[in-house]
Amino acid sequence: MAYSRYKVAEYVSFGKNFKPLAQFDVEMVDSLTITGNCDKSVATECVNSYYMGETTKGQAEQCLTAKAGCTSKFTALNATQKKALADKFMTNV
C-alpha cells in the first residue's frame, strides 16, 4: 500500500514538473512547422542543391517557398512577432 502511494505521488510530481517543459517544446516545434502544400520531391531537390554547393542559402530558401510551396508559420510572421517568439523561447531571430 505504501509503495503504490509512493508511485502515485511520483507520477503526479513528474506530471506537474515536466508537463510545462513538454508543452514548451510542442509550442516551439509548432511555430516552426511547415504549413500549406509542400511538394516534398521539389523541396528535396532544393535542399540537395544547397548541400551540393550548387545554390546559396538564399536561393535554396527561395526555391523552397516559390517552387516547392513550403512555408512555415515563422516565415509568415512580421519582425515584431518574430522577436516576441524568439524572446518567448529565449533565443534570437
Give me the residue spans of the domains in the chain. 2-88
What is the rounded distance in angstroms from the CA atom of residue 43 to the CA atom of residue 56? 15
Place 10 in a pLDDT band, splitting at 50, 70 and 90: confident
What is the helix (H) or strand (E) element at residue 49, kind and residue range? helix 40-51
Spatial neighbors of 77 by CB under 8 A, at least 6 apart, are 85
Q: What is the pLDDT of residues 31-68, one digit of tens each?
A: 777 776 888 899 899 999 999 999 999 999 899 889 98
| Percent over 90 (pLDDT), the chain | 23
CA dist 68 → 3, 36, 58, 62 (Å): 56, 10, 14, 9
Mean pLDDT to the nearest integer, 21-38: 76
